[in-house]
Amino acid sequence: MNTHEDTALPTRPMQPLRFDNLLINFATEFYRVWDTRGSRAKPAAFWRPAPAPDLLPGYFPLGDVVATDFDNINGKRVVAVVCEANAHTKDPAQANALSQPVDYELIWNDKGTKSKIDGALWRPIPAQGYVALGSVCTNDHEKPSLNAVRCVRADLVIASRVDELIWNDKGSGSRHKFSAWRITPPHAPSGEIHLAPGTFAADGSYDRPELGSVAYSLRLPVPLQVSPQPTAPQLTGEPPAPPVEPAKLTHTARLPWFAVKDPLLSPLEQLRRSPSYRLERTDQYMLIGYGHNTESQGRTFRWTAPRAQRAEHLRAFAELTTVEFGRQWPTAEPAPLRYSARLDEDFVQCGAQANEWPNDRPLDVITLAAGQKSIAVYLVQSNFTLLREDGTPVTDTVSYTDGNRLHLCEHSPQETVFVCPPIPSPVPAPAPAPADKPATEQPSPADVTDVTDVTDTVP
């Protein structure tokens, strides 16, 4: 029978991560299914994630976890667990995010190992359109329950690489061969995270699985909230005073705890105390130059504008938090889960052909002011701040000047502003003509309201 261990300290439920109708959360509680004690194999223990019913109701494991010793892993390891969410659409054709396996395939059992407890390892066979993200252990030689794990719809996962060896049964005396391998996600595209759930890839040999072996990671979007940009400044005739207005919050990206290295919290403390982080972007118009052309002919003005970005600031931010601007960032070892993440390119202003983050050279701005006009030029500066869930900053703000967002405004003191004339009063219809007066006689000028166009000039 299964042996239960001391449970980990309870953790408050975190807001689940969602992709379509799949919910993802994290468990730190496990029960031991089987271990190699008594056998001739190297030490190993297989554990089943046990989502707490009061904190994670309706959640299922994706597979079991292997440890290379007999120590209790409760409160020390973390694994992704999944739940079916209500669909965003009422379309009956939309498939569920999760499905039971339809059967299991035997990979290995302990016959011949002389272990104290019978054990076997099984590969779930998914329904059509679904994939398995882990393997299942039993403490007997019978197939596991179909309720032991869940398989995930194929469009919600990404094919991944089978990486380094975790454990194999060499020397165990079993009639079968078995090896367990880590799963490493591929590079994530813009605005996505790829997450290996913490399970293992199983193989019935001792050789590294061939390239193209079946292993999967979960796909996750990086939620991004976008607000209106600050109002563009206008020139009224007086020299503008910088800055025009305070910086305005325009974008908020939410990053899950495992994708951020927090200098003050361990990974499991992050899960308990700050399961999500906010990377906020504020935008502000910065005055580059102002000129007044008093001549009748056009005149060229030229200014030099410093950029806010600094390579050393960006490097320090990435080293402290692992979060990168303009490229994907992988798992920082040691880490409880393997992932690959990349921020949305529009959010960090790093399109494929416009990555200006490493460029801290000043900008040369040249513009032509028409005769008798004032002109002002602005650039947009963006500031990025990473905040914990409680609002405290993780590190210093990183700033960026967008050389492609030039705002030019001009003003002419002699400009004439036309005001719409008032609507004239209705002209009364002429009275019926007397019999001795021709009916075609025109009304007197005094009978018509006089209307004069009105103009005004702004100094």
Is residue 356 domain-shared with residue 262, that is, in the same domain?
A: yes
Given this model, what pLDDT does residue 125 score? 97
Distances (CA, A) of 368 to 121, 223, 238: 75, 42, 19
Is a pLDDT exceeding 70 seen at residue 459? Answer: no
Token pair of 430 as six digits: 């002429």
Same domain, 167 and 252: no
Whether the per-residue pLDDT at 12 is higher than 90: the answer is: no
Burial class (CB in 10 A: 0-12, 13-18, 19+), 16: middle
Is the Cβ–Cβ distance between 409 and 376 less than 8 Å? yes
Tell whether 170 and 118 lie within a shared domain. Answer: yes
Q: How many domains does the chain have?
A: 2
Looking at the structure, tell me whether residues 245 and 212 fall in a common domain: no
Q: Which of 176, 191, 221 is the last residue of a domain?
A: 221
Verify that 128 and 193 share a domain, yes or no: yes
Whole-angstrom Cα distance, residue 149 to residue 51? 12
Phi then psi dihedrals of residue 422, to 5 deg: -65, 150
Cβ density class 272-295: b for 16+ within 10 Å, e for less:
bbbbbbbbbbbbbbbbbebbbbee
Kindly state whether residue 434 falls inside one of the protein's structural domains: no
pLDDT, tens only, 264-280:
999 999 999 999 999 99
Closest CA to 235 of 379, 408, 457: 408
Task: Give me the sign of the Cα torsion angle 21, 151, 197, 187.
Answer: negative
Whether residues 258 and 143 share a domain: the answer is no
103: containing domain:
17-221
Residue 206 forms part of a structural domain: yes
- Convert the pLDDT of each residue in 322-340 to its tens digit: 999 988 898 777 788 999 9
For residue 383 the two structure tokens come to 């500031």
Contact predicate 26/55, CB 8 Å:
no
449 in a domain, yes or no?
no
Question: Is the preceding omega at residue 13 within 30 degrees of 0, hence cis?
Answer: no
Q: Are 46 and 110 in contact (CB under 8 A)?
A: no
Residues, the chain: 459
258/133 same-domain check: no
Least confident among 101-110, 273-282, 332-341, 370-379: 332-341
**What one-character DSSP code corresponds to residue 38?**
T
CB-based contacts of 343: which residues, under 8 Å, 6+ apart?
190, 191, 222, 253, 279, 323, 324, 325
Look at residue 243 in the predicted model and tell me its pLDDT.
67
259 pLDDT exceeds 60? yes
Same domain, 112 and 261: no
Q: 90 and 193 share a domain?
A: yes
Q: Answer whether residue 113 is part of any domain.
A: yes
Q: Are residues 246 and 160 in the same domain?
A: no
In a 3-state reduction of DSSP, which class is residue 445? helix
Strand order in the sheet with 179-184: 161-168, 179-184, 201-203
Weakest-pLDDT range from 15-19, 57-61, 435-439: 435-439
Task: Report d(CA 304, CA 319) in Å as an integer.
Answer: 31
CA distance 255 to 198: 19
Q: DSSP character for 247?
A: -
pLDDT at residue 211 in the model: 61
Residue 186 lies in a domain: yes
| 184 and 324 share one domain | no
pTM for the complete prediction?
Answer: 0.83
Report yes or no on 7 lying in a domain: no
Residue at 367 is within a domain? no
Selected residue with higher pLDDT from 139 and 209 = 139
| Residues 267, 340 within the same domain | yes
Report the distance separating Cα 452 and Cα 316, nearest Å. 68
**Residue 384 domain flag:** yes
